[in-house]
Chains A and B, each alone.
Chain A
Amino acid sequence: MSARASSVGRVVATERRPNTAHEFHFWTSLDSPIGIGTIVRVDGDTPIAGQLPRVFGVVVEGFSYTDLQAAIDDVRGHDGLPQSAEAAPTHRAEIRLYTAHVLRQIPEEPLQPVPMGRVTLASDEDVAVALRMDAYLQPGNRTGIPIGIYKAGAMEAPIYLDADFLLGPEAAHLNITGVSGLATKTSAVEWLLASIFAHFPEQKGSVAAICFNVKGPDLLFLDQAGQLDDADRAMYAKLEVPARPFDRVHYFAPYTAKGFTLNTLRTNEALEDNVSPLTWGLNEVMQFAEVLLNKDDVDAKADAFIDFLQERVIGREFSDPMLSTTHRVRSFGELEAFFRDLLRGVEDRSSGEYWRTHHVATIRKVRNRLSNISTRCAGLVTDEGTVSDLPFGSFQDRTVYVVDVASLEEDAQDLIFARVVSKLREHLERRDLGVSHVVVFVDELNKYAPGDGQDTYVRKMLLDISERGRYLGLVLFSAQQFRSQVHRRVVGNSGTALYGRMDMDELATPGYMLLSPATKTKLATLEKGQLMVRHPHFAQPIFVRFPRPAVMRGRDGAERFPAAPEVSLEAAVMRALRSLDPGISLDWVKRTIAGHEESVVLRARTLTMQTRPERVQAFFEAQFRRIVPAAVPAAERPVSVPIKALPDDDPYGF
């Protein structure tokens, strides 16, 4: 003990302000390095059960006062002139009194009020003991994931999260709160993913991450190096995380409504090699029709008919006396053909208003709603059923999969989120995803899992992940600006919580009631790169610093790799195919697709991209062989245009 750091304070207790087993007070010199969030150690003088007590605490409140009993005395002393105070030869006696919350007591039993004793700054080893990190930093059984560095005075101690409590199975999930634009949420998650990839214990298996990019170019340059300064690099070195961008990143984005350019800001030609389209057909979508169909207009009757379609019609051969032919519905196009045939049959045969107990109005309504899906989610959902999906079943270890939904309509975002998470869950349950753990990062949780409003499919899924995901290795990293507005069970099930700079209004909500006013003030003024961390092993929240992520910021990436301008169909096809065969020219593409419909060309392109054949040109050309190109119309005599067009339904018009 005597060899330990010199005292920075003394524990003090009065009858009015006694110490307890969870809180104690101490004073320091005026120039001590103690501040809110500092971790301190108290050494008692009286042995408990033969052991001198050691108590670790984190400072949560500070007080300063002088020997004045009334402020007016000071005014009177200086004749009401503040400047005369500068002439006083002596400063008043002044105290720095701090309140700390207990992190850990040794011995832990019997649990007693904190004894009087000397206070020192906690050393690296003390911090590990205080935060119970010693339990999971044992050589040979190490499950520590660095989250940042705790700084106090000249001391810097690495802070680790326990992988068993961050990624399951003991606890799991992480939630991060903070105001926008202060390098907190996205940066922290990018840094933490790098840390997880570097430190995830081998014995726990493999890990990958799926990030939903919901804002601009935020997560679109994770494979590009960002700017780091010496302090950042020093932190990376201390925390033993490579200061480089992610090695393996795959991007997925649906097409725009036109269908031949990807709906993402990562369309720069230099970065196209790891960007894949995300398109789904009828089969993929019908499972999640519930996500897209409005509960208000899909009633029980419509629901029953949709179930009938899913079970009896879609994906199998279906015939019925009412139908003119046998239907095999595999795409939205074929579904539409089925509906046309069915409704024509029902109307022609005058067989009443019902078909197989389903009212014709219900059939019309379901047709309307389902047909509408491919319109509302154009670019993601294709009429012809072309599928380009995430590599479920062949996920790779330490790989980030980014799904860019930033430019999509809300419905399409919901559909993507619901389906991707469901598929992850299915595969993890079957243990055939390719990795044993997946981190799913969802920003703007306020929107996807709000605390109020009607229950949505997406919210139910998020609740399901947060409550049961840890057993499967499906881990939710979520972020939002206002934690108070997120469903309580989603944030409540997050074993680890990070807080960046917070809004005072948010801090005034009941969820932050247990934080001291000083801690709230610190949260409201946190610098960039600082976080407050709550973790199951930490008895109290801890403030840490983390380095800037080693990846390019979205804004910088968008400037350095500007998105390609909207291109023609020919150019879009050429660019897509060039990623497989750099020898492909625009002229060749023009010749090949001349006279073919746009949808046919796009289907050929998608098939080629999915198949990735060795002979790209031959494969692409082969997609058109079975199709007779539309005849090029002969030059016609110019048609004279009437001055005033006739209405379409004019019975006298010819």
Chain B
Amino acid sequence: MSSTVTVNEGFDVVRRRLAALLTPGVPVVSEPQPLEVASRGVQDPPTMRAAEVIEAPMRARPIQDIRETGFAAFLDGAQWSLPAAWVGSVPVVHGTVAAVIRERRERRLVTWRSPMVERALYVPVPLVSAEARAAIDATGLRLVDTLDARKAESTHPFALQELAYRAVLAARERLEQSLGAQWCEQSDATLFVDGGISGSAAMARAKCVVGVVKSHQTLHANDSDVAVIMALRPRERSSVVRIAATKRTAVASWYLRLRDSTGQDPLWGLVRVEIALAPALDVAQLAARADRISSWILAETLPLSAPDSRWDNMVYGIRDCEEFLRATRA
């Protein structure tokens, strides 16, 4: 699934090749903005989703300061989506997705095995002409039809860009899941995953994986429990809940306050943790595990992941993964 990155798959090379094929004689001058940072990048709307409280009642639970961590490695992925060409109003998006596990050895982070990198052109194939399709194929890069997984809401160019963006995002998630699965096959040591794990059945059931979600567009809480979560103080976690969504594997989850949010918004310094839900549910064991994992995550708040703007809820291991992927993007 992963491929060795070769120079001829790089964005600039592909872009020039496409320009030569699609619009010969017209020089490529503008520098496109990545869809991830463009205002056209899409975000889910803020949502509340009810969750079953396993460790009732929902309340704040203090975590002991044991200053020990059980995480052996960190997994994160990255993506870069750049419009490489336009066929009329149809964007041809060059997408790069990558995932890496950074393993901790002697308190230093090193790359586990090799990072996984994939590059492809994301195009709504039915909307381009046969000639354009032939030109896109001629680049030699893998072609992904963005209309395979979703239907276009409209043929507005930005709507088509959003489709490409979501397709790249999905590719990244798949890559992360694949790498996480490889880790679980060879190791029992606990892997810290950036983001949720319920998207992959293998990871959602693995005991060696802990997913930590930084964004809270969707709050997994009952209306009555939101106030408890928002009022969590540093080194406190909420009660464990069960999260089960369509097409996703059910996992156990809880909120954890990493830093004092006094004077900040209520989501500042807050993360949501996901772990596998054991088939035979033992609440006491689950609570003990939640306490232990919470203390590990709290231990990971050092060193500070500054200068990243998300340093309030990002651990250093994940920042290291991101920096690694950014540095090796070329």
Chain B nearest CB from A28 CB (Å) reads 14
Task: State which of A86-94, A105-113, A266-274, A610-618 sits at the interface with chain B.
Answer: A86-94
Residues of B close to A91: CB separation below 8 A: 107-108, 303
CA distance A89 to B316 in the complex (A): 10
Chain B: minimal CB distance from A64 (Å): 14
Contact with B along A61-85 (1 / 0, CB 8 A): 0000001111001101110000011
Please determine whether B307 and A68 come into contact, CB atoms closer than 8 angstroms: yes
Q: Is the beta-carbon distance between A90 and B303 smaller than 8 angstroms?
A: yes
Within the assembled complex, what's the spacing in Å between the Cα atoms of A536 and B38? 60
We find that the number of chain B residues with CB closer than 8 angstroms to chain A is: 20
Whether the Cβ atoms of B104 and A89 lie closer than 8 Å is yes
CB interface residues, B 70-91, toward A, < 8 Å: 71
Residues of A within 8 A of B319 (CB): 67
Nearest Cβ distance between residue B265 and chain A, in whole angstroms? 19
Residues in B neighbouring A85, C-beta threshold 8 A: 302-303
Shortest distance from the beta carbon of A507 to any chain B beta carbon, whole Å: 36
Residues of B within 8 A of A (CB): 67, 69, 71, 104, 107-109, 299-300, 302-304, 306-307, 311, 316-317, 319-320, 323
Task: Decide if B306 touches A76 in the complex (CB within 8 Å).
Answer: yes
Provide the residues of chain B in CB contact with A70, threshold 8 Å: 306-307
Complex contact B109–A69 (CB within 8 A): no
B96 to chain A, nearest CB (A): 22
Verify A77–B317 contact, CB threshold 8 A. no
A305 to B107, CA, bound (A): 87
List residues of A (527-567) whose CB comes within 8 Å of B's CBs.
none
CB of A90 within 8 A of CB of B108, answer yes
Produce 1/0 per residue, A25-39, CB < 8 A to B.
000001000000000
Per a CB cutoff under 8 Å, which of B71, B104, B107, B302 touches A77? B302
Given contacts A90-B109, A93-B320, contact A77 B307 (CB under 8 A): no
Known: A87-B299, A90-B107, A90-B109. A73 touches B316 (CB 8 A): no
> Is there contact, CB below 8 Å, between A89 and B304?
no
CA distance A22 to B108 in the complex (A): 34
Q: Which of B300, B303, B304, B317 has the most CB of A within 10 A?
A: B303
Given A85-B302, A89-B299, 14 other A-B residues pairs in contact with their CB atoms under 8 A: A68-B306, A73-B304, A73-B307, A76-B304, A77-B302, A78-B302, A84-B302, A87-B67, A87-B299, A89-B69, A89-B300, A90-B109, A90-B320, A93-B323
19 contacts between A and B (CB under 8 A): A67-B307, A70-B306, A73-B306, A73-B311, A76-B304, A76-B306, A77-B302, A78-B303, A78-B304, A88-B302, A89-B71, A89-B299, A90-B109, A90-B302, A90-B303, A90-B320, A91-B107, A91-B303, A92-B303
Most buried by B among A30, A67, A87: A67
Binary contact readout A276-288 vs B (1 if CB under 8 angstroms, 0 otherwise) = 0000000000000
Contact B307 A89 (CB under 8 A): no
Q: Within the assembled complex, what's the spacing in Å between the Cα atoms of A93 and B102?
A: 12
Q: Which of B67, B71, B311, B316 contacts A92 (CB 8 A)?
A: B316
- Minimum C-beta distance from A66 to chain B (A): 9
Query: Cβ of A93 and Cβ of B107 under 8 Å apart?
Result: no
Of all chain A residues, the one with the shortest Cβ separation from B67 is: A87
Which one of A30, A74, A87, A93 contacts B304 once the chains associate, using CB atoms below 8 Å? A74
Cβ of B306 and Cβ of A89 under 8 Å apart?
no
Q: Answer whether A89 and B302 are a contact pair too, CB < 8 Å, given A68-B307, A69-B307, A73-B307.
A: yes
Instruction: For A92, list chain B residues within 8 Å (CB).
Output: 303, 316
Interface centre among A67, A73, A85, A90 (most CB of B within 10 A): A90
Task: Give the docked Cα–Cα distance between A73 and B311 (Å).
Answer: 10
Residues on the B chain within 8 Å of A84, using CB: 302
B302 CB contacts on chain A under 8 angstroms: 77-78, 84-85, 87-90
Residues in A neighbouring B108, C-beta threshold 8 A: 30, 90-91
User: Nearest Cβ in chain B — how far from A9, in angstroms?
Assistant: 17
A180: min CB distance to chain B, Å: 45
* In the complex, chain B residues whose CB is within 8 Å of the CB of A68: 306-307
CA distance A69 to B323 in the complex (A): 14
Q: Whole-angstrom distance from the CB of A342 to the nearest CB of chain B?
A: 93
Q: Are B316's CB and A90's CB within 8 A?
A: yes
Bound Cα distance A85, B304 (Å): 10
Bound CA–CA A93/B307 (angstroms): 13
**Chain B residue with minimal CB distance to A73?**
B306
How far does the alpha carbon of A260 sit from the alpha carbon of B109 in the complex, in Å?
Answer: 80
Bound-state CA distance A73–B67 (Å) is 20
In the complex, chain B residues whose CB is within 8 Å of the CB of A78:
302-304
Complex Cα spacing A90 to B110, Å = 11
- How far, in Å, is B280 (CB) from chain A's closest CB? 32
A84 and B302 alpha carbons, distance in the complex (Å): 9
Given contacts A87-B67, A93-B109, contact A77 B320 (CB under 8 A): no
A87, closest chain B residue (CB): B67
Q: Please indicate the chain B residues that have their CB under 8 angstroms from the CB of A67 in the complex.
A: 307, 319, 323
Closest chain B CB from A46 CB (angstroms): 14
CB neighbours of B107 from chain A (8 A):
88-91
Once the chains bind, are B303 and A88 in contact (CB under 8 Å)? yes
Task: List the A residue with the shortest CB-CB distance to B68.
Answer: A89
Residues of A with C-beta under 8 A to B69: 89
Q: How far is the CA of A87 from the CA of B299 in the complex (A)?
A: 8
Q: Nearest A residue to B323 by beta-carbon distance?
A: A67
Across-interface contacts of B316 in A (CB, < 8 A): 88, 90, 92
A77 near B304 (CB under 8 angstroms)? yes
Q: Which of B71, B104, B303 contacts A74 (CB 8 A)?
A: B303
Q: Which residues of B contact A93 (CB under 8 A)?
A: 109, 320, 323
**A13: shortest Cβ distance to chain B, in Å?**
15
Closest to B65 in A: A87
Do B306 and A77 have beta carbons less than 8 Å apart?
yes
Separation of A84 and B320 alpha carbons in the complex (Å): 20
A476 nearest CB across to chain B (Å): 54
Least Cβ–Cβ distance between B320 and chain A, in angstroms:
6
Q: How far is the CA of A84 from the CA of B301 in the complex (A)?
A: 12
**Within 8 Å CB of B109, what residues of A?**
90, 93
Report the minimum CB–CB distance from A536 to chain B (whole Å).
43
A69, B307: Cα distance in complex, Å: 6
What residues of B have a CB within 8 angstroms of the CB of A30 in the complex?
Answer: 108
Interchain CA distance A88-B108 in the complex, whole Å:
11
Task: For the complex, give the distance between the alpha carbons of A85 and B307 in Å.
Answer: 17
- State the Cβ distance, A73 to closest chain B Cβ, in Å: 4
A394 to B108, CA, bound (A): 71
Q: Which residue of B lies closest to A77 (CB)?
A: B304
**Docked CA distance A76–B323 (Å):** 21
Q: Which residues of B contact A87 (CB under 8 A)?
A: 67, 299, 302
